[in-house]
Structure formats: structure tokens, C-alpha cells
Amino acid sequence: MILVTGATGNLGKATVEFLAKKIPANNIAVLVRDENKAADLKALGVNVRVGDYHDKNSLVKAFQGIDKVLLISSNDFNDRLGQQKRAVDAAKEAGVKHILYTSVSMQNIENSALKPLMEEHYNTEKYILESGLNYTFLRDNLYADIIPMFIGEHVLETGINFPAGNGRVPFSLRTEMAEAFANVLSTSGHENKTYEISNVESYSYQDVANALSAHSGKTVGYNDLSIPDFSKALAEAGVPEAMIGFSIGFATATKEGDFDVPNTHLEQLLGRKPSSLNEFIKEIYQ
Ligand SMILES: NC(=O)c1ccc[n+]([C@@H]2O[C@H](COP(=O)([O-])OP(=O)(O)OC[C@H]3O[C@@H](n4cnc5c(N)ncnc54)[C@H](OP(=O)(O)O)[C@@H]3O)[C@@H](O)[C@H]2O)c1
């Protein structure tokens, strides 16, 4: 039996939906924190188990009878490493044989503006390696789906105002990552492997602006703002300080090329090329 955590979230739910097309639903289990959010998962016929990364006993119970766990990284930054370590410990205690973990695909993490946020992924990988469990690291580069979060809802009117310079990112659609994960979960031969889940080419925010222009028929410009101007504009728009810091971290890491590591693993796992910039802009902004 295969269990997917984070199944009430975007990536986990999409993975379960793809997986249910490949293997019988009664061979799939999901971990959720709140059963009330699991009605659509129950309708798929999968086993719904309740547990929380903050509560190891709940995880040991939820992982009983499970062979493979896809551990979706937590979105809760309160002791994220501790939460994920607890999930690894629980998997070991419950007799799980293989743990797959959604890590991050970056270079220069040591010098990255995002080191405080992202090093937890690499520390979780290290902990999994030390656990002795079979592992698969699914190192995700950035979702194309988060581009609107950085460039704003009204980008067609405002243009892109983001301090990412000419930095490039091999964005890919979260649903395509999920499809690839379902392929990995439902086939053999992925033990002790690391996959960089990235598009085959990288795109700058000028490329994103050009794609938006082509898609909308309106000219969308890219303004590589200075960090102080960006910060001031967000503060004037009422964006909370923590979110401003988060956006500056992503812009700086992008500018420095920290995410610019395109790879063909996603293409191989999908069995086709991931959607290109023009295709995913159309999908996101349809
Ligand atoms: N590569 C990227 O561009 C990118 C972007 C954003 C995030 N991420 C990372 O990738 C992960 C998956 O992305 P996503 O879009 O699916 O995120 P998401 O929609 O926010 O889903 C996160 C999932 O984690 C669950 N979760 C949070 N804290 C938990 C806890 N203490 N115990 C058990 N489950 C817990 C949530 O459960 P509830 O529904 O109960 O809250 C939810 O199901 C994120 O959690 C984050 O670590 C990557």
C-alpha cells in the first residue's frame, strides 16, 4: 500500500488523483490533518488516515501496513525540519520500506538568500539517508503556478515589477510534477535515486512578460525594480512584512541563478516534454 501525505494540498491531491488512474484506489492511502477536508479523497475510494507532522504517534498509527510513503514537505514553517524528521522516524517505526520526499532543486544553497528557508529540505534528505530507509528524493524546482504570487493579480495592467534581474528559473506546472510522482510511485526501480524535477529550459521574467504579451495581446513590460523600490511598493500596497521578506528572498535567489538548474528528469518521468513557458502561461492565465 502506498501513502501520500499532504493530500489535502495541491501537489498531494493531484498526485493521488493521477495515482488512482494507475493502481486500484484500495492500494492507496492518504494522510490528512482534518478529515472534513477529505470528502473528495474519500469519493475516490482511497483509505483516509488522520495524522499530524507535529504528533509522531498519530503518524506511526497512520503508517501501519504502508510500504511506500510519499512525504510532501510541510508548508508550516514552525519547526518544519522537526515535523519532517518525525515523519521519517514514524515511517521507520511503522515498518515502511521506502520513503519518497519532495525536496528542492537549487544550486549554491550555501550562499543563497533562501538558505534559511530551503536548507531544511537538504537536512531532511540527510536525515532520511541516515535512517537507512530506501529513499527517493524528488527535488522540485519552482512551480509555474506560483508566478502570479510574485508578479501580482493585475499584471496585464501593471506589467511585471519584480527585482529578479535576468535570473532564470526552469518553472514547470505542479500538475505535471504530480503526474511524474504518480509514475514513480506506481513503478519499480526508483529506490535510492534523486530526481531534479525541473523544466528542460529556464525562463527569465522578461520571457514571462513576453509570453504574457503574446497570450493577452497587450504589451506587458518587465521592470527589474531595485529592492528598496520593490519593498516600498509592497508596503504601500499593505503586504505584510514577512511576505515582503519572502518575495525579496525569492527574487534575490532568482537573480543570483540559484534555481537555474534545468534538467531532463521530469521529461523522462513524464515520458514527454513538460509544458513550455507559452503553454503554462496559457494554462495559468486562462
Ligand atoms: N516548488 C515550489 O514552487 C513550491 C511552492 C510552494 C510550496 N512548496 C512546498 O511543496 C509542498 C507542497 O506544495 P503544495 O502546493 O501542495 O502545498 P499546499 O497546497 O500548501 O499543501 C501543503 C499540505 O501539507 C499539509 N500539512 C501542513 N502542515 C502539516 C502537518 N503539521 N501535518 C500534516 N500535514 C500538514 C497541509 O494540510 P492542511 O490541508 O491540513 O493544511 C496540506 O495538505 C509545500 O508544503 C511546500 O513545502 C513548493
Contact 134, 274 (CB under 8 A): no
Strand-pairing partners, residue 137, are 101, 194
Chain segment 259-285, per-residue pLDDT in tens: 999 999 999 999 999 999 999 999 998
Position 281 in a domain: no
Q: Whose CA is nearest to atom 33 of ligand 1?
A: 52
Position 118 in a domain: yes
Average the pLDDT over 247-254 and give the result.
98
The whole domain housing 46 covers 2-141+172-198+261-274
* Tally of structural domains, the chain: 1
Contact 2, 12 (CB under 8 A): no
Alpha-carbon torsion angle 53, 54, 55, 59, nearest 10:
10
Position 119 in a domain: yes
Position 286 scores a pLDDT of 81
Sign of dihedral through CA atoms 122, 124, 125, 127? positive
HSE of 208, CA atoms in CB hemisphere, 13 A: 33
Nearest of 129, 186, 145, 119 to residue 9 by alpha carbon: 145
Cβ of 167 less than 6 Å from ligand 1: no
Q: Quote the ligand 1 centre to 218 CA distance (angstroms).
A: 34
Contact 207, 277 (CB under 8 A): yes
Three-state DSSP at 273 gives coil
Q: Residue 217 — pLDDT band, cuts 50, 70, 90?
A: very high
HSE of 133, CA atoms in CB hemisphere, 13 A: 30
Position 282 scores a pLDDT of 93
Strand-pairing partners, residue 196, are 139
Position 97 in a domain: yes
Chain segment 35-87, per-residue pLDDT in tens: 999 999 999 999 999 999 999 999 999 999 999 999 999 999 999 999 999 99
Position 36 in a domain: yes
Burial of residue 130 (CB within 10 Å: 0-12, 13-18, 19+) is exposed
CA distance 100 to 139: 10
Cβ of 75 less than 6 Å from ligand 1: yes
* Res. 152: pLDDT tops 90: no
Burial of residue 133 (CB within 10 Å: 0-12, 13-18, 19+) is middle
Q: What is the DSSP letter of 57?
A: H
Position 59 in a domain: yes
Sign of dihedral through CA atoms 203, 245, 73, 282? negative
- 14 CA closest ligand 1 atom index: 16
CA distance 38 to 50: 10
Alpha-carbon torsion angle 169, 259, 140, 41, nearest 10:
-50
CATH number, domain at 130?
Answer: 3.40.50.720
Position 48 in a domain: yes
- 13 CA closest ligand 1 atom index: 16
Q: Quote the ligand 1 centre to 157 CA distance (angstroms).
A: 31
Position 285 in a domain: no
Nearest of 185, 180, 151 to residue 274 by alpha carbon: 180
